Amino acid sequence: MLPPRNVSNVTNGTVWINQTEYPALGVQVLSSDLDLTPQEALSFTWECLNFTEDYMIIQLYFTNPNQVSISVPLDTIHLTFWD
């Protein structure tokens, strides 16, 4: 995959697939234990800081960072690349 010329296109960009608009990159953090950490407690924003042919660096800004992965198994992050 070739990196975009402007990394803000990853954070703020969208793509169209079958007449439906999707974010260029979908980022989700899923709770491993909804009784202990409700999904709403894992709210966050994110931005792409760097993107090359070899790697991508994204920064997550959690609203409640002390609620992330507070139990085992740990919470998981899911990335969806739309193209």
- State the pLDDT at residue 3: 66
- The three-state secondary structure class of 47 is strand
- State the pLDDT at residue 2: 63
- State the pLDDT at residue 62: 94
- State the pLDDT at residue 64: 92
pLDDT along the chain (83 residues), means of 10: 68 78 86 90 91 89 92 90 74
Q: Is 0.85 topped by the overall pTM? A: no
- State the pLDDT at residue 42: 92
Please state, in angstroms and rounded to a whole number, the distance separating the CA atoms of residues 31 and 78.
11
Tokens of 58: 């994204």
